[in-house]
């Protein structure tokens, strides 16, 4: 490729393309906030539902507002019969994200407000999509195993209900709370690739379902949401604590990337990894299954010692989800169960103050070509 004449920011690295009131990341100090609230504070004191309200409305809810949101979410979890029928009819996916992408796109065909671009309709669609993402992922997992989907339980919160729909039993309160915290941690992350994709789509004034479909396709990639699944596959391949160091050394010698490490924005530890590390350890201790935490720790020590690269959000979510009994191929869809809150908040923000997102590229291809008839080439 020719040398760039203009200054090209490959991968938009370091480029600020908009102002946003939703989420801030301080990559130097490892600080993440939603609407000014520190993620560590939210992880200790808040719930996923409260974080959703905060992301959508820009402030913490009062008791009545939170109750209303909880009711709305639980009332809208049920999927249309046509969507469940479609889920059963689709061919087996090579990856669950294919099915999720297809079904989220299909939801718009059954949403009477799909093309209504009023702020009120878009808020209602954001709520429905957030309510239904978990039901879709759990139903997918059940159908894939030849089991019947389990109807949502309106008495359970979002996190507990997801685990219930997945496994068919009311989860241990400790598991439900751990998953609730995981949902809070994954709910938003500023202009990450999938959120950016959603905002690009929204900036054409395309509908909310289209924007979220773009986001899901983007989250699927192994450099983004697909990393958590790859981390667990690596931990399973390592298998025993004594194999962790040689395994990672071998990867590094081959100049391969170790999934769950590194970040475009954080130059220090990802603050979500700090919470998830403790969660992985606590879950491991409570269930008597510390092995995956210990292998993870050994991999992390090696990465810090040899490469000075820190764990990101995907690294310890892998071992935590494993101990929670979430199937490995669901890890990326589970990311979407949470990130739908941030995606929709960003799309609403984009609509509220829209400008078409349309960057430039420096052309480096051939010039002054003359058209030659096909028989003369």
Active site residues: 263, 314
Question: Does residue 278 belong to the site contacting ligand COA (CB under 6 A)?
Answer: no
Residue nearest to ligand COA according to CB distances in the complex? 262
Dist. CA 51–CA 39, nearest whole Å = 10
Count of residues touching ligand COA (by CB under 6 A): 16
Task: Find the binding residues for ligand COA in span 59-98 (CB under 6 A).
Answer: none
Please answer whether residues 117 and 351 qualify as being in contact, where contact means their C-beta atoms are separated by less than 8 angstroms.
yes
> What string marks each residue from 279 to 318 as x (binds ligand COA by CB under 6 A) or -?
----------------------------x-x--xxx----
Q: Least separation, in Å, of the C-beta of 374 and ligand COA?
A: 41
Tell me the window of 14-22, 102-110, 262-270, 320-328 that interacts with ligand COA (CB under 6 A): 262-270
Q: Least separation, in Å, of the C-beta of 262 and ligand COA?
A: 2
Q: For residue 158, is it left (φ>0), alpha (ψ between -120 and 50) or beta? A: alpha
Q: Least separation, in Å, of the C-beta of 294 and ligand COA?
A: 20
Q: Return the exposure string of 293-304: e unless at least 16 CB atoms fall within 10 Å of the residue's CB, then b.
A: bbbbbbbbebbe
Q: How many CA atoms lie within 13 A of 34 on its CB side?
A: 30
Task: Count how many residues are written for the chain.
Answer: 377
Dist. CA 47–CA 187, nearest whole Å = 11
Asked whether the CA dihedral 31, 35, 41, 47 is positive or negative, the reply is negative
Task: Find the binding residues for ligand COA in span 219-258 (CB under 6 A).
Answer: 223, 227, 257-258
Q: Max alpha carbon distance in the chain (Å)?
A: 76
Task: Find the binding residues for ligand COA in span 108-137 (CB under 6 A).
Answer: none
Dist. CA 184–CA 55, nearest whole Å = 11
Q: Which of 191, 261, 293, 321 binds ligand COA (CB under 6 A)?
A: 261
Residues that bind ligand COA (CB under 6 A): 11, 223, 227, 257-264, 307, 309, 312-314
């Amino acid at each position: 490729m020719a040398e760039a004449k203009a200054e090209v920011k490959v991968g938009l690295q370091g480029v600020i393309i908009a102002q946003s009131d939703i989420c801030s990341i301080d990559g130097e100090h490892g600080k993440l906030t939603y609407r000014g609230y520190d993620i560590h504070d939210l992880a200790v004191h808040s719930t996923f539902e409260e974080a959703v309200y905060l992301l959508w409305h820009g402030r913490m809810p009062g008791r009545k507002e939170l109750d209303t949101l909880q009711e709305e979410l639980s009332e809208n979890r049920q999927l249309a019969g046509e969507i469940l029928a479609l889920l059963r009819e689709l061919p087996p996916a090579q990856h669950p994200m294919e099915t999720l992408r297809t079904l989220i796109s299909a939801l718009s065909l059954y949403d009477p407000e799909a093309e209504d671009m009023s702020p009120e309709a878009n808020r209602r669609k954001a709520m429905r999509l957030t309510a239904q993402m978990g039901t879709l992922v759990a139903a997918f997992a059940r159908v894939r195993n030849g089991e019947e989907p389990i109807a949502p339980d309106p008495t359970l919160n979002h996190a507990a209900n997801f685990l219930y729909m997945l496994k068919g039993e009311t989860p241990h309160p400790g598991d439900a709370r751990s998953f609730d915290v995981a949902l809070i941690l994954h709910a938003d992350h500023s202009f990450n690739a999938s959120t950016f994709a959603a905002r690009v789509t929204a900036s054409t004034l395309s509908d909310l379902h289209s924007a979220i479909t773009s986001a899901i396709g983007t989250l699927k990639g192994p450099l983004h949401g697909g990393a958590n699944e790859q981390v667990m596959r690596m931990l399973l391949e390592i298998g025993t604590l004594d194999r962790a160091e040689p395994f990672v050394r071998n990867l590094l010698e081959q100049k391969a990337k170790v999934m769950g490490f590194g970040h475009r924005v954080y130059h220090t530890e990802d603050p979500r990894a700090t919470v998830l590390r403790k969660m992985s350890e606590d879950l491991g201790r409570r269930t008597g299954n510390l092995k995956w935490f210990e292998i993870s720790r050994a991999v992390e020590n090696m990465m810090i010692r040899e490469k000075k690269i820190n764990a990101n959000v995907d690294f310890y979510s892998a071992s935590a989800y494993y101990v929670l009994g979430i199937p490995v191929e669901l890890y990326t869809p589970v990311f979407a169960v949470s990130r739908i809150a941030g995606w929709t908040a960003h799309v609403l923000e984009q609509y509220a103050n829209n400008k078409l997102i349309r960057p430039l590229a420096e052309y480096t291809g051939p010039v002054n070509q003359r058209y030659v008839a096909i028989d003369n080439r």
